[in-house]
Amino acid sequence: DQQVKQNSPSLSVQEGRISILNCDYTNSMFDYFLWYKKYPAEGPTFLISISSIKDKNEDGRFTVFLNKSAKHLSLHIVPSQPGDSAVYFCAANKVPGYALNFGKGTSLLVTP
Amino acid sequence: EPEVTQTPSHQVTQMGQEVILRCVPISNHLYFYWYRQILGQKVEFLVSFYNNEISEKSEIFDDQFSVERPDGSNFTLKIRSTKLEDSAMYFCASSEAVGIPLVDQPQHFGDGTRLSIL
């Protein structure tokens, strides 16, 4: 069952522009949302998270927005850099530290 | 920066054989996890472990699977009799704490063990 969905398998963005990665979820019990970044032959690396009581969290070039009523979150990367090229996973769980439910990932390519 | 380490990076095993995947979680972390990713599919939760007990497991984690913390640093996943469909990338993860409201408790992942069953 796909409780976390990333409907765009890939995204291409020019260097310096904004990258927007989207994620939808179906389980209204999810309370904690995370974004991970993955390079080939490496494990997922934690990027940024947000709890359901917030609608925005910012960390440097990365901002995550949460719309609970729409069950939708997005990751904004501004400005995008070639080193951001990777697969980005959205993940969610009911309580921080419990089992993570992952989306299938979006492959981001940032071109010079 | 502390990291989760996994060995081996690639394991090739004959179907029906037992395999043990090893992980060294981050040293001050108390919660440990195994996930797997079959090629082309999403990362799936297998099991979580705390205080020498399984705290949560998925439907995938059947009697063929077991986990152990044999000493103060290692965390292992054993598959007793491997099947072709066990071929996947297996990720170990750890986190410092669980369930503290409003506090970031991300799970930190190792680079994985690619398990190939022949």
For B44-79, give the DSSP string: EEEEEEETTEEEEE-TT--TTEEEE--SSS-EEEEE
Lowest-pLDDT choice from A61-65, B37-41, B79-83, B100-104: B100-104
pLDDT of residue A96: 79
Work out the angle at residue A87's Cα, subtended by the Cα atoms of residues A84 and A90, and round it to the nearest 5 degrees: 110
Give yes or no for residue A100 having a pLDDT over 90. yes
Nearest to B109 among A2, A43, A96 (CB): A43
State the pLDDT confidence band at B91, using cuts at 50, 70 and 90.
very high
Looking at beta carbons, which residues of chain B come within 8 Å of A44? Answer: 43, 91, 109
Give yes or no for residue A112 having a pLDDT over 80. yes
**DSSP structure string for chain A:** --SEE---SEEEEETTS-EEEEEEE--TT--EEEEEEE-TTS--EEEEEEETT-SEEEETTEEEEEETTTTEEEEEESS--GGG-EEEEEEEESSTTSPPEE---EEEEEE-
Identify the residue among B109, B113, B114 best suited for mutation to test binding to A, counting A beta carbons within 10 A and taking the highest. B109
Give pLDDT tens digits for A35-85.
Answer: 999 999 899 999 999 999 999 999 999 999 999 999 999 999 999 999 999
List, in order, residues 6 or more apart from B95 with CB less than 8 Å away: A97, B29, B30, B31, B33, B105, B106, B107, B108
What residues pair up with A110 in beta bridges, in sequence order? A13
Q: Per-residue pLDDT averaged across B43-59, rounded?
A: 94
Work out the angle at residue B4's Cα, subtended by the Cα atoms of residues B15 and B36, and round it to the nearest 5 degrees: 35
Q: Give the H/E segment covering residue B102.
A: none
pLDDT of residue B100: 67
Give yes or no for residue B111 having a pLDDT over 90. yes
- What mean pLDDT, rounded, does chain B reach? 92
Looking at beta carbons, which residues of chain B come within 8 Å of A43? Answer: 4, 6, 91, 93, 109-112
pLDDT of residue A57: 96
